[in-house]
Amino acid sequence: MRYVCPNCFKVADIGEKFCSNCGYDFEHISNEKYAEKLIKALRHPDYNVAYMAAKIIGELKIKRAEKSLIEQLCKNLLNKKDPYLEQVMVFALGEIGGEEAYKFLSENKDKFSVLTRDVIANSLEKIKNRMGRKCV
């Protein structure tokens, strides 16, 4: 599992105590703050940072990133159409998404790149399973 420095966004390995780029002390950041930084990093202009942020959000299951992920996916559909960013964000939505993500993905699935469609099917399935277990 990988990690990004919340200060300079360089990718680090988990277990490293300090950022090898800026020297940031990783133990000084709370999970709460780190989640906040990751959500912000989704909008980072550096592709690698945005990619890593989405991946970690999915792995750590940071639920409140749902809206930001949908927002970024919309932007990606309109502008860059980067299939790799698409895929990792759709993966993250599959890990954390609820009703809103489900609706967004099913309504827009034809607009995504062909490469992303398998990931979408997979994510929709995961969200559906999670929603099915809810008692509301």
Q: CB–CB of 123/94 below 8 Å?
A: yes
Of 5-44, binders to Zn ion (CB under 5 A) are 5, 7-8, 10, 19, 21-22, 24
Q: Which is nearer to Zn ion, 8 or 74 (CB)?
A: 8
| Least distance in angstroms from the C-beta of 25 to Zn ion | 10
Complex with Zn ion: residue 11 or 131, whichever CB lies closer: 11
Nearer residue to Zn ion within complex by CB, 7 or 113: 7
- Provide, rounded to whole angstroms, the least separation between the CB of residue 59 and Zn ion: 20
Q: Please name the residue ranges forming H helices in the chain.
A: 31-41, 47-60, 66-78, 83-96, 99-108, 114-132
Largest CA distance in the chain: 47
Calculated CA dihedral for residues 86, 90, 47, 56, nearest 10 degrees: -170
Q: Whose CA is closest to 54, among 66, 121, 110, 82? A: 66
Q: How far is the CB of 52 from Zn ion (least distance, A)?
A: 13
**Closest approach of Zn ion to the CB of residue 127, in Å:** 33
Within residues 45-104, the interface with Zn ion by CB under 5 A covers: none
Rounded distance between C-alpha atoms, residue 43 and residue 30, angstroms: 21
**What is the binding site for Zn ion (CB under 5 A)?**
5, 7-8, 10, 19, 21-22, 24
